[in-house]
Structure 1
Amino acid sequence: MTDNNTSHHHTLPSLRHAVRGIARVYRLPVETRARLVMSAVELARTEIAAGRPVRLEVCAEPPSGGPAGQLVVTLDTLSDLTADREGIADLPLPAQFASGGSVTWRMPLPGQRGDGGDAGTVPPARNGGGPEAGGGCPTSEIHAVEQELRAALARLDTLTAEHRRLKHEIAETNRGTLALYVQLEERDEQLRKAHGQTLRELEDALRPAPIEADGLEMAVHYAPAGTDAPTGGDLYDWLQLPDGTVHITVVDALGHGVTSTRGALNVTHAVRTLALEGHPLESIIARTAEILMPFDSELMSTVLLARLNPATGDLFLANGSHPPALLLPAGGEPEYLEVRGRGIGYPLPGSERLLHTRMGPGDMLILYTDGLTESRKDPREGEKRLIESSRRHADRPIAEVPGAIAEDMHTVILHPDDTLALAVRVPPV
């Protein structure tokens, strides 16, 4: 059976009293009651101010297949409320709107009513009146408002506590995330260092220590373009041939990293094999290109070959597009030993001739890659500074000379590159 009750209201206090009475009879939660009162008053405010009454209808529908029914409250006005879309969206308690000025709220019934009376019984409200106009007890109305305020404050307190809890959880999560981020950064740094260390160990394995040859002192310095890529295309090789002469190879393969290292390593191995087989020094660069290019057409590398006889001081040089060697005579002017030629991967690779000179006691030979002289993007200026630095450190122990020269040359680096400096000296008498 459906309960129905209808009342008309000319004032907002009367409407408030009626809605609160309905909510109390049907035991609506205080928060729902407050929202219903505020929504009804909001929609009726314009109508009542214009002197038009509103009609309030309540209907308790019985359960339909469920444990409880629902309370249907309808407010009828003479205006089309659907025109105020913004006001509709902002209602404290959402409602269903119909054309013609009818708005309906549907709320589940919480259970058995507390007055034990007729389901349609609603506390009386005089048309045009209310609690303040004789339509009800002011104390009861004030008590109802206080209940709603307490419910609102309780809801606010709950939301505030929930907000604090969420902020605490977010802060804890952020701290955990930050800690995890720091751990990941530390782990990443450890992996980078381990990776770099492994590559440096591999590089060191590919870079032979200075050989021991009577009548010669030798040392080398190598530095990659960056610590994140400790391998590069600058390699060297030195060995003593069966006839007692010392063979030195300096290679600069195009690029950086492992790929250029592989290309440079292939060149040094090919050159070593050809040197040990006794091929003439002037033919080795061209022959190396013939061997490697069919297997690696992308390979490009400059090559400088030196052959030094410790017994006589005879020095022979072959060059394939590489920076010239620098000779510092003990009692003379420094000299760049220029030899024309083209490197591996260049058209017509090979050295155009052999350069022959002689080294005496105290003389020093500097072999290097362009990363040493072109760090400031000016090769000529770099060659001038190399002469000055080599003179400055010529009397130091040979093991210190290449590193000291590299430090001088790299006080300013505008163009980072792999750097190789190799020093060979005939001990003074």
Structure 2
Amino acid sequence: MTIFLLFGSFILFLCLSVPIAIAIGLASTVTILAVQPVSMEAFTQTMMQSLNSFPLMAVPLFTFAGDIMGKGGISRRLLNVSSVFFGRLTGGLGVISIVTCLFFAAISGTGSATVAAIGLIMIPAMVARNYNKTFAASLVATAGTVGVLIPPSIPMIIYAVAAGVSVTGMFSAGVGPGVLVGLALIIYVLYYARKNDYKGDERKYSLKEALGIFINAIPALLIPVIILGGIYGGVFTPTEAAAIACFYGIIVSVFLYKEVKIKDLPYIAFRACLLCAPVIIIIGISSGFGLILTITEVPTVIADFILGISANKIVILLLINILLLIVGTFMETNAAIIILTPILLPIVTALGVNPIHFGLIMILNLAIGFITPPLGANLFMAAQISNTKFELLMKAIIPWIIVMIIVLLLVTYIPAISLFLPKLLNIPV
């Protein structure tokens, strides 16, 4: 009764276009008033306690750092460096887009920001070199999914808080899947470019030009080194790294590259707060939602149901992947993580799956949702900045989704892809 009332009312509110945070709160309130699984006081206290979290402070800080660096000309300098190394390849502009997304992801921590920063420059450049516009836009949209896989990643922080695992462990585990996605996309780009005769850039860089481009980009290239090196080296925590990223971003963008003015900083900070506010509200309300789930033993019921279908680890992980792929098409990533982690984590840990490994499985599934209609946040962003009809991108994105699903299966069934680096760095997982 409680399960149907809780999830039934939640789905009903979503169908009525109620914002997801409000829908979760209303569904919880309806359930409390109807069957009283917990008191309203306990629900409210759980909401407030969940926000009293040191790791959560990293969310607005990384958002601010990514925004200021994106506006500070860093993406353009990263593209210039990539052009020196990959520009002359067949399909070189596509490869440049993907490689730059990998680097920029280590700065922005989000998918849509990566698509906007790189797509505004690279999509027109690819079209000018006779690339099909829908191919170029779908390429950048897909490459932008790396934003939540390469650390620092806001969804990784959210999962770490929800699952009670190490943020540092999640960050280090994300490198392997993130690089694997990048390599898979590059392989497909090279195949497609050779098939359609997309020539590389004919420009040859002299040693002096290449050296000048590289030196100019050193402050940008040092950002992931400082942030991730400090975290993995134990110099500072991920939350402290977020604060350092903000400070470094201001130094580089305002005083070194001089593409952001001091008077712009209050607005960028205000915008970061606006972007993070819905996430923080979802986290708080979803924690109360999770309390109801725990008290009523909903995760146990769902776990018993899934385990009743099959006791085979391969089959269950496949079913969970299908569920997450479906959820990712219509639910916001952070909300999905907060709601589903308490339900699915006990199931996979009972099968011997490492919680950090499962976190990467979940985030990669939901990242595919960034390019899957009807939500497809990266698709919408790519369509907007390329002035392409969304319907055309829906068709062009299909091969990219297939590539991503192949990578997903590899990450799911080969735990070493995620856990190799944490073990190498002696980070507890």
**Bin of the TM-score, shorter chain as denominator length:** under 0.3
Provide the TM-score with structure 2 as the length reference.
0.24
Between Structure 1 and Structure 2, which shows a larger proportion of helix residues? 2
**Which one has the largest radius of gyration?**
1
